[in-house]
Structure 1
Amino acid sequence: MTQLVDHLIVGAGFGGLCAAIKLDEDGERDFVVIEKGGDVGGTWRDNTYPGAACDVPSQLYSFSFAPNPDWSMSYSPQPEIQAYIQRVARESGVLDRFVFDTLVADAAWDEEAQRWIVRTEGPTGTTTYAARTMIAGPGALSEPRLPEIEGIADFAGEIFHSARWHHDVDLSGKRVAVIGTGASAIQIVPEVQRLAAHLDVYQRTAPWVIPRNEHHYSDFEKFAFRHLPGVQRAVRTAVYWGREAYVPAFTRQPKLAAPARRAALKNIHGAIADPVLREKVTPTYQIGCKRILISNSYYPALAADNCDLVTDPIARVTADAIVTEDGTERPVDVLIVATGFYTTDLPMAHRVRGRGGRLMADRFAETGMAAYKGTTVPEFPNFFFLVGPNTGLGHSSMVFVIESQVQYVREALRTMRLNDYACVEPTEAAFAAWNADLQARMAPTVWSTGGCSSWYLDEHGRNTTLWPRTTFVLRRLLRSFDVKSYTVSAAHTKEHVNA
């Protein structure tokens, strides 16, 4: 049996939850949210590793329409963020339309019915939905990427990805290896170093790490946030503009990042006395080219007697050791993989077929991962991305971007209702012009000129991940639905017109 629904939302993280709440407010209540996990939260449900916390202040990394006066500190830990998402979902009254532990197996556009036919697989078997629109918020950091290392499948000890932490594994007294030195790894390493008999950290590229200027909120501050909402709004506004001040250093003049570079170097010299280790952890590329990380405990952990930073490339993994290219074999009991996610090759794109039956992944293979305004894609009518191509940030809160994109989707749905449109699809011309301008703006940024190789770039060297301008410009561009950039179809007809 096929279930008819107006809107099918994929993902129950910040994106999917925001879409559900705002559609419900607009009277677009005929929707279903499909979530592969067992609860809301997305990234913050899955990443439960020791030390997990946000590196954007939570006053900004939260919904503008659902402030939380009870954050314990400026950079909140994972359990608090997950509890916040759960509370917002519970109080919003939309959870009755969420379907958990269910995966989108495939989705195809039915030209005759002018609907998305989406097959899902869950605990009760297969369910098929026929939806007018599909709103995809699967998350850019949702599918863990495992390294392609010879012999890793034959490792006999415990092995797991940072986003799939095995809490039943006791690390006390063990020989542990962490592969990777990204955002998750620098939070994990200090926690593991305190427990392990010995820790090896395998670094391919040194990250820039600035101090974590943590602030613990007092009871007085929490009281003010709760009873004087304007105070919390003012704090949020100050955090927002403080973050936007980073943009010129990333996009126009890298020299403006000199204070951050000095802070990062001071962070190294304050924690590490060994000149050899200092050299290993000092990046050779411009700060900002890769994601800038924050930590007060990472460098002290690397300098501890029971920790070694390994910079020789890994040659292979054996049943009980890691062998580097110089021939050194280091024994390992537990192998923790912190090698990131599929960010430039979205797994969901391999399961979605648009007009004519072409996979979205095949289109992306030709053009690079790209969308119009980070939200819509030609050949895929009524399909809306949340946190789509080139909407990522290197400086601020993705929740701000999510709210901006949801506003654009809401305006699209209002336009469709008012004009009785069955379908909206961006024109190839609008798509091409948007992405040509975007890549031209990307060329002079530190992400393109900073001398590093990062997960921001796809296999062709194109940055298909980040937004190269301020977030307030993005919000302005997404404030209303520009129907003139779309081909629209009247309801119950096959007639297509350029609006």
Structure 2
Amino acid sequence: MTQSHVSAERDKRLKKDGLAQYANFREQELRNLAKDPWFLITGAGLNGLHYAGRLIEAGFSSKDIVLVDVAGRFGGTWYWNRYPGLMCDVEGYCYLPFLEETGYMPKHKYSYGAEIRNQIERAASHYGMSGQFCTKVDSQVWDDDLKHWTVRMTRTTGKTPESESLTVYADFVFVAAGFLAFPKIPKLPGWKVFSEHKHAFHTSRWDYNYTGGSQSKPDLTNLKGKRVAVVGIGATAVQVVPELAEWAAHVYVIQRTPTYVGPRNQKSTVEKEWENVAGEKGWQHKRRTNLNAYMSNSTSGQGPDLIQDGWTQAPALCGFLGSRDMTVTSDQMLDHIKALHEIDYPRTEFLRKHVEKEVENKEVAEKLKPWYGSWCKRPAFNDDYLQSFNKPNVTLIDTNGRGLDEFSENGIIFEGNEYEIDVVVLATGFVVTNFLDPAEKIDGLLLGRNGVSVSDYWKEEDSNVLFGVAMPKFPNLLGRLGRGSGSSYNFTSMLEVDAKLIAHVIKKAYEQAEPGQKVVVEASEEGAEEWSNEVAKRAAFFGALLQCTPGWYTLEGAALQTESMDDKTFVAKNAPWGSGPVDFQERIEAYIAAGSLRSFTVKLVG
């Protein structure tokens, strides 16, 4: 695969409108709030679960913590996503939260959606967490006189269109909206007329009333005789297509850019083997660290690969995650990209050969072969997806990087050909909120000291974030803010690092206070700037992403079109941590072990 070919494929997929090519998609379902909380966490998914759990372990009462979410229960993206075939392709022993604390043994090496949601509920129950569900946070405003946040919310029973406004006051607020919160819907001509005559839904809101079946028993009997189009080719589509192919009369798979799909090699958890996995204290932390080390090509001092799967056998994934064992400066960029391709080739060539092995039609197989670096697009793992294209009722529509032309009254149109369909399944993923400002993450207003809007602050050239979890001008506001923090395909491992850091900061601050005193914690200007400068020094590592095709890694291409030096400097200091997840974790753990609150300011009031 030549570099000119990679660049040409990237360029034809690049659109100037980036994320603007997708329509907005928000939902509200509401319930009740009992009293003013000490800690109010916006988001009751994995993010919020970790913050609450580590606060409770730090000695704070679960009665003083409330998690607010528009969903009906705990779970976040795992609450909303219930599509057939749903699973996490990161090893469940590493991904599932609080396994050691709850003593739970996952049923399989790779956990299915219902089990993940159940473990989230189990962990919430274990810690006695309180959730305020079906409630949307509309605004959070800091009151510098009273030293608390005024939080306005909207709730409704869901049984009537009427809603009720609520106002509560919290000492601390947390941004925990997760990074896969808002489904992404493509904007295409003809959608209105299509939707008036046909059916469509997003995979995160799977319509079992239409398809038949349920998450626990996904027999999609209502699809017999139906023609289905699946728009999208990422990890979700890879899981959904085999399920649809079992039931629908015909399935059209709409591909813009092929995904690397490796073997999943699923297996049940055997109790004796589990004893070897979970036999010592701290096993999950150790296993997560080992996984992150091999994912990010940071294996020095890590010992053998404990996971041994497609994630740990693809060292060039560090092109997206960063690496402790590889340093890059801007003048080394070409050598860096060359080195990534060299360590990437054995894995990507294996996966291209895997396509040839599994797909009988050579022309279809060729279209399903990715060509780009494995760090450019999230890989997928499935034992049934590629084989689906051997079935007579499955057709690949490869749009050669462009996407569909439009919808029609009867179906979809590409290159002048109309394909009659009955239903469109949008496997188009989510708007990745890692890149949004905290107000956008929660879909509400967020004002700090002196009425400073976080949305405005986020755009300022001199804005800075400390450790990825705190900002100057926004006292007692904490959470994963999407800048300057560690990245991992095993997202829960980084949430754990953030949560332990936040719990440490709050606990150490209260240790300075007398009973009855209010505590105000804030990232110092100097500390946040120092950390942002360290982030910027490492940002060149991610230069290989500039070769990538549009996708959620690159804001659908918007991040690839940064041209001015000021823009590049701004992007650099607001990048993820370029030395990778293991280095980030080690630095945060060393900070906690030191026992100080360096780079934070603490004020005691009353």
Tell me the secondary structure at the aligned position of residue 552 of structure 2: coil
Aligned identity (percent) is 27
Q: Contact between 1:180 and 1:203, CA under 8 Å: does it hold in 2?
A: yes
Task: Tell me the equivalent position of 2:185.
Answer: 146
Counterparts of 1:3-42 in structure 2 under 5 Å? 3-29=35-61, 30-42=64-76
Of 85, 88, 91, which aligns to 2:120? 85
State which of 361, 368, 383 in structure 2 corresponds to 1:274: 361
Query: Is the contact made by 1:139 and 1:387 (CA closer than 8 Å) also made in structure 2?
Result: no
Shift of 1:436: 3.9
Q: Which runs of 5+ in 1 are unaligned?
A: 493-499
- 1:50-70 per-position Cα deviation (integer Å, ceiling 9, x unaligned): 111011101111225425543
The alignment partner of 1:457 has SS state of helix
Displacement of 1:356 in angstroms is 3.0
Q: Residues 74-473 of structure 1: matches in 2 within 5 Å? A: 74-94=109-129, 97-123=130-156, 125-154=164-193, 155=195, 156-170=197-211, 171-221=223-273, 224=275, 229-230=278-279, 237-238=286-287, 240-248=289-297, 249=316, 250=318, 251=322, 252=326, 253-254=339-340, 255-312=342-399, 313-324=403-414, 326-343=415-432, 344-345=435-436, 346-348=440-442, 350-366=444-460, 371-386=465-480, 388-389=482-483, 391=485, 393-395=487-489, 397-420=490-513, 422-445=519-542, 448-458=545-555, 459-461=558-560, 462=571, 466-473=576-583
TM-superposed CA distance for 1:262, in Å, is: 3.0
Q: Which residue of 1 is the match for residue 95 of structure 2?
A: 61
1:45 is matched by which residue type in structure 2? Y
Tell me the SS of whatever aligns to 2:534.
helix
Identify the residue that residue 495 of structure 1 maps to in structure 2. none
2:586 alignment partner, SS class: helix
Structure 1 residues 438 and 58: alpha-carbon distance in aligned structure 2, compared to 1, 3 A threshold: same
More helix by share: 2
**Which residue is 1:496 aligned to?**
none
Aligned-partner Cα distance in 2 for 1:61–1:368: 36
Question: Deviation string for 1:285-320 (max 9, x for gaps)?
Answer: 111221121112111113422122222231221233
Distance in 2, Cα, partners of 1:259 & 1:69: 37
Moved more, 211-220 or 431-440: 431-440
Cα deviation for residue 239 of structure 1 reads 6.3
Supply the AA of the counterpart residue of 1:244: A
Structure 1 residue 428: deviation in Å? 3.8
Unaligned runs of 5+ in 2: 1-32, 158-163, 212-222, 298-315, 327-338, 561-570
**2:203 corresponds to which letter in structure 1?**
S
Cα distance between partner residues in 1 of 2:120 and 2:525: 37
Equivalent residues of 1:73, 1:214 under 8 A apart: yes
2-side partners of 1:367 and 1:198: how far apart? 52
Range moving further from structure 2, 66-75 or 47-56? 66-75
CA displacement 1:316-374 (0-9 Å, x = unmatched): 212331122x2121112111112121212343264322223233233334459973212
Q: Is the 8 A contact 1:2 1:128 kept in 2?
A: no
Alpha-carbon distance in structure 2 between the residues aligned to 1:398 and 1:89: 18
Residue 88 and residue 4 in structure 1: after superposition, are their counterparts in 2 closer, same or farther (change >3 A)? closer
CA pair 394-303 structure 1, distance change in 2 beyond 3 A: farther
Contact 1:176 1:335 in 2 (8 A): yes
Hey, what's the Cα distance between the residues in 2 that align with 1:354 and 1:277? 54
Note the alpha carbon deviations across 1:69-116, whole angstroms, 9 max, x for none. 43221001111111111122223223xx32111111111111221211
Tell me the distance in 1 between the aligned counterparts of 2:86 and 2:461: 35
Deviation at 1:40, TM superposition (A): 0.9
> Post-superposition shift, 1:272?
1.5
Structure 1: which amino acid aligns with 2:167?
Answer: T
Amino acid at match of 2:109: S
The one-letter code of the counterpart of 1:337 is L
Residues of 2 paired with 1:362 and 1:322: CA distance?
40
Q: Distance in 2 between matches of 1:179 and 1:427?
A: 46
Quickly say closer, same or farther: Cα 1:484–1:236, change in 2 above 3 A.
closer
Q: How many residues align?
A: 485
Tell me how far apart the structure 2 counterparts of residues 456 and 482 of structure 1 sit (CA, whole Å): 35
Q: Structure 1 315/400 Cα, relative in aligned 2: closer, same or farther at 3 Å?
A: same
Distance 1:116 1:330 in 2: 54
CA contact (8 A) 2:488 2:494 kept: no
Is the CA contact (8 Å cut-off) linking 1:442 and 1:448 kept in structure 2?
Answer: no
Distance change in 2, residues 1:229/1:211 (3 Å): closer
| Secondary structure at the counterpart of residue 141 of structure 2 | strand
Map 1:468-487 → 2, pairs under 5 A: 468-479=578-589, 480=592, 483-487=597-601
2:598 is paired with a residue whose SS is: helix
Deviates more, 1:311-320 or 1:326-335: 311-320
Q: What SS class does the counterpart of residue 59 from structure 1 fall into?
A: helix
Aligned-residue Cα RMSD (Å) equals 2.8
The 3-state SS of whatever aligns with 1:245 is: helix
Letter in 2 for 1:317: F
Single out whichever of 403-412 and 144-153 deviates more from structure 2. Answer: 144-153
Whole-Å Cα distance in 2 between the matches of residues 243 and 310 of structure 1? 36
CA separation of 1:35/1:447 partners in 2, compared to 1, >3 Å: closer, same or farther? farther
Residue pair 2:73, 2:131 contacting (<8 A) in 1 also: no
> Structure 1 pair 87/387, CA: closer, same or farther in 2 (3 Å)?
farther
2 CA distance for matches of 1:258 and 1:158?
A: 42
